[in-house]
Structure 1
């Protein structure tokens, strides 16, 4: 598996990123939107698995505007006051609009690597909402968007993904943790209503018994069986949309 570390010029600066692709012919491009703990070996492992299916997988650092930060321990960072404050500042300082704008540069970076066709997005935790909003911002290129344990997908915020449903042309998959305060049942219902009203091909699936973060291997609530179920759903989505 080949991984390249490189820099992407965006309207706001230079974002670090990793690009994962197998030596075999690449099928299509995927952008993986990180969770709150940033690019790290756990996400590299996930990107490598996707790349092993024939995709070119880009994992950008969404917090690049903040300069150096972390590293964070996904099991303890939100439990400790100092790192919790740092994480909240990073998340709050990286708006949805910023990531939507950055996605144009991410798509250009894939094109520079010869990936100029349809693109899929997938995001975890804070990356889930960004994967959906990215698809709304770039409907001409992004044909599939997946969110796993994404928070605030249908919140009161003006940049909540459900408000951009009418802009989506992508097929959407949302996998929610069984009990997740950041995406309660009322938000799930509101998101479903928005997607259905907009005519978006979508699935919202509740992973009963899973905790927020169950897909990512360095999270304290990681669940191997639940993670495999997530992989099955994600790969089916990309197989059917990216070819």
Structure 2
């Protein structure tokens, strides 16, 4: 499944993104997914995850949330937080790429996904840093995003309470024994069994909400 590199015009510049088309298209409208990256940036590990989603019949967009920094890497997921100068650089990029920036960018991401052929419902999924951004995008564009999945969100109890108050249909699971980043294959704490559990839950969720 070929990855297409595209450029997306945003309010703040031009974001590069990977676009992954499904190998088979359903007879009805084609659903789409925006995959919000973790802190280490778009790279082969995330490409593989996007490809797996595309193989299930989704048009998948993997945007670079750090595009404001130009050419920066990506970072090595094994060592970026344990070595300098990557640790300082990475923390700065995470802090300076605000939720509001990603929220604004998501309007352009949605347009790009639609232009790429995602004519059906759209979902979002994010990992680590991207988890809260996937949820915030759905909150900002409820008329366009039908479902959001977040893996490793902080303050899950607070989130659950907010979702109940808002009467949002939701499920929150605790992956006991899994460390932060367990679902991404190049993570130093990757857990194959936990990752497959996450895939089963994610694909079932999107199948129920986007098709």
TM-score range, shorter chain: over 0.9
Pick from 70, 74, 77 the counterpart of residue 77 of structure 2: 74
Deviations along 1:120-142, whole A, 9 cap, x unmatched? 00000000000000000100010
Shift of 1:117: 2.7
CA distance in 1, matches of 2:119, 2:8: 16
Bigger strand share: 1
**Which runs of no fewer than 5 residues in structure 1 stay unpaired?**
151-182
TM-score, scaled relative to structure 2: 0.96
**Which runs of no fewer than 5 residues in structure 2 stay unpaired?**
none
Pick from 120, 136, 145 the counterpart of residue 148 of structure 2: 145
TM-score, scaled relative to structure 1: 0.84
Q: Which residue of 2 aligns with 1:10?
A: 10
CA contact (8 A) 1:213 1:222 kept: yes
Tell me if 1:126 matches 2:94: no
Q: Which residue of 2 aligns with 1:235?
A: 203
Tell me if 1:204 matches 2:172: yes
CA distance in 1, matches of 2:2, 2:193: 27
CA distance in 2, matches of 1:68, 1:2: 22
Deviations along 1:83-113, whole A, 9 cap, x unmatched? 0101011111111011011010011111211
Q: CA distance change for structure 1 residues 241 and 88 in 2, over 3 Å: closer, same or farther?
A: same
Pick from 70, 74, 99 the counterpart of residue 96 of structure 1: 99
Q: Which residue of 2 aligns with 1:213?
A: 181
Deviations along 1:184-233, whole A, 9 cap, x unmatched? xxx22211111101101011110000000000000010000000000000
Look up the SS of the partner of 2:81 in the other structure. helix
CA distance in 1, matches of 2:72, 2:182: 24
Q: Which has the higher contact order (CA 8 A, sep 6+)?
A: 2
Shift of 1:22: 2.5
Count how many residue pairs are aligned between Structure 1 and Structure 2: 208
Q: Which residue of 2 aligns with 1:19?
A: 19
Shift of 1:2: 2.6
Pick from 159, 162, 182 the counterpart of residue 191 of structure 1: 159
Please tell me the root mean square deviation across aligned C-alpha atoms, in Å. 1.0
CA contact (8 A) 1:123 1:146 kept: yes
Look up the SS of the partner of 2:65 in the other structure. coil
Question: Which aligned segments of 4 or more residues in structure 1 are displaced greater than 4 angstroms?
Answer: none
